[in-house]
Amino acid sequence: MTGTVMTRAIQPRELNQKDVLAGGILMTWMDEIAGITSQRFAGPHVTTVGINDVVFREPINNGDVITIRGEVEKSGRTSVTVRVTVTIDGKDAPSVEGLFTYVAVDDEGRPRQIKQD
Ligand SMILES: CC(C)(COP(=O)(O)OP(=O)(O)OC[C@H]1O[C@@H](n2cnc3c(N)ncnc32)[C@H](O)[C@@H]1OP(=O)(O)O)[C@@H](O)C(=O)NCCC(=O)NCCS
């Protein structure tokens, strides 16, 4: 399995001063999903090398139920890029998405080759 899914109901403590979901909190959840997805694909011990093309298209409100999905978008010799989408229940298109890239590393933290099936 290489995909990962998490569903959450937004709570008051997760809102910012504008009363919408704080972007930094959402990024933490997205990084967690992407990290698990990358390890399912590349094996344990990966490290974040880049977070790109993150777009917040619309606010997420208190009480919204969101689904965060991570899917492998592409992989290279040592890296894997995961597309993370965040969709509010009742909507078709993702409200937020981004690309999270991880490098598989050895015990010394050096890039290691990802085994190909
Ligand atoms: C990640 C790290 C091990 C890579 O080491 P490196 O010697 O620079 O590795 P390379 O240049 O050989 O690149 C390794 C892979 O990363 C990819 N890569 C490098 N920079 C990238 C970037 N900005 N975005 C996407 N991919 C990137 C390369 O294309 C390569 O992929 P491939 O092997 O699949 O073709 C090293 O940069 C590092 O330790 N960074 C700190 C990581 C860290 O602390 N993360 C936590 C942040 S809180």
Nearest atom in ligand 1 to the alpha carbon of residue 80 is 34
80-104 pLDDT tens trace: 999 999 999 999 999 999 999 999 9
pTM for the whole thing?
0.95
For the CA of 52, the nearest atom of ligand 1: 24
Ordered domains of the chain (ranges, CATH): 4-104 (3.10.129.10)
pLDDT band at 115 (very low <50, low <70, confident <90, very high): confident
Q: Which residue puts its alpha carbon closest to atom 37 of ligand 1?
A: 49
Calculate how far, in angstroms, residue 103's C-alpha sits from the geometric centre of ligand 1. Answer: 6
d(CA 16, CA 29): 16
Query: Among 83, 76, 60, which residue's Cα sits nearest to residue 111?
Result: 76
pLDDT reported for residue 54: 97
